[in-house]
Structure 1
Amino acid sequence: MKAGSAIPLWILALLAVLCLAVLAWTTFGFVVPFKHETGQAVLDTYFAGYEQSAVFHMQKVLDGNETAARLLSAMYFGPELIFPALLTALLFLVFLWLGPVSSWFGRPLHPLLAKAIYLLPFIYGISDYGENVSSLIAFGNGASAGLATYLLPWMTRLKFASLAICFIVAARLAIARWLSQGRD
């Protein structure tokens, strides 16, 4: 059996379209209105990360703006419930579609390292959901808000770092697969 042949390309395309649709829903339904309402971006969009002081500032903004607080809450209970799962599935299936790990690097890998590569999309998904839960707790009035305020910047960094690693690995694997097809 050829590498990755068990997963039809249309499934990957469908998942990609669904990811883009939910991302558009998040962006135009919540992120843009939030920015319009507060003059600030949602913390989830800070690709380079942020410090704990940004979380404290956002807590003050949300305490003084009920509309913004409702928008943020609706985002986490709407598209942000769906998007991490869709993107995790897409990334995992792309890794499977690209074929066995041994063909990616042209040499045998330690079995644990090979399995760890397949876990990368799940690290992204778990960290994205962790960021969402931390946001809900940090911007709520619960007793765990302090811990969530501390964890939130780290969860965002882990989310974007794991996502970047997934994209880099997928791009490298796609190039390696393309080059290996040229040799056949």
Structure 2
Amino acid sequence: MKAGSGIPLWIIALLAALCLAVLAWTTLGFVVPFKHETDQAVLDTYFAGYDESAVFHMQTLLDDNETAARLLSAMYFGPELIFPALLTALLFLSFLKLGPVGAWFGRSMHPLVGRTVYLLPFLYGIADYGENISSLIAFGDGGSASLAAHLLPWMTRLKFASLAICFILLARLAIVRWLSPRRD
């Protein structure tokens, strides 16, 4: 499929609506009740990141509060199974819809740069699923909990960094498209 080809806008709008619905499900069904139960936010919502001490604190909290542990587990086996895939698809199709990367910057680019930009949504998706898996392992009773606890803050940072880069590039492209004269 060529970049900017016939991807209908309604597909992107549908994916955006599904992302918002799943995000609302996650927030209202799990994040808010978890905060109410523990007076602490879910680590997935720490946009500025956190360190290993926060992970160890969460492990202790979940060991002492079975309801919170069940809420967190249900979140990872519920909406967090589908949200990263939906958002990855939305980001990727948005990049495709907005056209070739060279047009974004007003000059031709090395093909490797273009391919790398199109891979950013997949980096986000892999990092988000990696974060979810690391959380399940770190907050479980397995022998790999310590390794997962060390990895978890890095997966969260990678997730939010790749997501921020995707949003910045999409905003830049949308502004460039909006300001550029239309060609018929």
Q: TM-score, normalised by structure 2?
A: 0.96
Q: 1:173 aligns to what? A: 173
In the alignment, structure 2 segments of 5+ residues that lack a partner are none
Provide Cα deviations, 1:78-99, integer angstroms capped at 9, x if missing partner.
0000000000000000000001
Partner of 2:56: 56
The alpha-carbon deviation at position 100 of structure 1 amounts to 1.1
> Would the alpha carbon gap of residues 40 and 172 (structure 1) be closer, same or farther in structure 2, given more than 3 Å must change?
same
**1:130-141 correspondence runs (5 A):** 130-141=130-141
Structure 1 residue identity aligned to 2:86: L
Percent identical among aligned pairs is 81
Q: In the alignment, what sits opposite 2:84? A: 84
The answer to whether residue 152 in structure 2 is matched with residue 152 in structure 1 is: yes
Report the CA distance between 1:101 and its aligned residue: 1.3
Partner of 1:32: 32
CA root-mean-square deviation: 1.3
CA contact (8 A) 2:50 2:153 kept: yes
Query: Could you tell me how far apart the structure 2 residues matched to 1:105 and 1:6 are?
Result: 22
Aligned-partner Cα distance in 2 for 1:6–1:100: 13
Aligned residue in 1 for 2:97 = 97
SS of structure 2 residue aligned to 1:181? coil
Does the aligned pair in 1 maintain the 2:5–2:96 contact within 8 Å?
A: no
Alignment of 1:115-126 (within 5 A): 115-126=115-126
| Aligned equivalents of 1:35, 1:3: Cα separation in 2 | 42
**Aligned mates of 1:3, 1:166 — CA distance in 2:** 16
Which residue of structure 1 aligns with residue 47 of structure 2?
Answer: 47
